[in-house]
Amino acid sequence: MSEISLVARASELIEELSPGERALATFMLENVEELMFLSAVEVAEAVGTSNASVTRLAQRLGYRGYVELQLTLREELRNAYAPAVLSPANGLFAEYWQAEERSLRKMMQLSEESLQAVSSLLAASPQIWVGGAQTVRPIASYCEYYLNLFRSDVRLLVEDLRTRPDGLLDVKPGDVATLFTVRRYSIATSLLGKELVNRGATLVVITDDGAPRLARHGTHVLRVGTPKTSGPPSLTMIVSLVQILGILVAAELGNARTEAAEEFVKKFQAYEY
């Protein structure tokens, strides 16, 4: 993140700071992508210092105050994670497949225990709610379809609560919500996740290797690679993760629903063979 001025300034000055300032600067460096969503009071509470100390450190780093630090950081992160411009550069295919291979190796490091814990939740929950905004909205829709192959009561959430807040009326304690979010993280998804937890749902977050605010609310957070090469970030591994979880759910619940669905497929001649 060398293009982020906060990172450059704090890294340069950190050895000159007092112990209290150094603790604040370290927190900022470790939570760069979350600072946009954290007030000065929240930062101060996380480190155990005062609101005024946060303001003074921001000024020492070259900003007029913490608000300007946030505004500058927001713009720099927006530029850093803006979609890449596609170009017919030589080596595009090799670059793409190498990035996919790295992502697959990272995904293979997910523990079987964590995947099994999430799939057991998905199998046992009275209702499953699935959601995501913007780039990952189609993946959320696919997840709803795929899990419905193996169990009932899987429902797709509204993309933005401001359009259909009543979409949460049927969320009950004990339900499981699975939300997808990748850079650039959607504020709508963060608000949705927080409200789902407030209503008693267990939250599963499927995301990239960044620091989405949504992850703070998740009981389970599964991270996969979303490499950015000469085009938009790849979502291949997130789709694969949906399929793995679906297979694990099916293994727990058995084939009764799938077999019943196959009878309808035959009856209505759904496919050509």
Contact 40, 52 (CB under 8 A): no
pLDDT the model gives residue 40: 93
The residue ranges of the chain whose pLDDT is under 50 are 1-2
pLDDT value for 228: 66
Residue pLDDT, tens place only, 151-185: 999 999 988 888 888 889 999 999 999 999 998 78
Q: Which CATH class is domain 99-267?
A: alpha beta
Model confidence, pTM: 0.76
What pLDDT, on the 0 to 100 scale, is given for residue 95?
79
Fold match between domain 5-80 and domain 99-267: no
Do the beta carbons of residue 128 and residue 228 sit within 8 Å? no
Three-state SS annotation for the chain: CCCCHHHHHHHHHHHHCCHHHHHHHHHHHHCHHHHHHCCHHHHHHHHCCCHHHHHHHHHHCCCCCHHHHHHHHHHHHHHHCCCCCCCCCCCHHHHHHHHHHHHHHHHCCCCHHHHHHHHHHHHHCCCEEEEECHHHHHHHHHHHHHHHCCCCCEEECCCCCCCCHHHHCCCCCCCEEEEEECCCCCHHHHHHHHHHHHCCCEEEEEECCCCCHHHHHCCEEEECCCCCCCCCCCCHHHHHHHHHHHHHHHHHHCCHHHHHHHHHHHHCCCCCC
The pLDDT of residue 204 is 97
How much is the mean pLDDT over the chain?
A: 88
Residue type (1 letter), 138: P
Q: What is the structure's pLDDT at 226? A: 79
What does the pLDDT read at residue 154? 97
d(Cα 271, Cα 265) in Å, to the nearest integer?
Answer: 7
Q: Where are the domains of the chain?
A: 5-80, 99-267
Q: Which CATH architecture has domain 5-80?
A: Orthogonal Bundle (1.10)
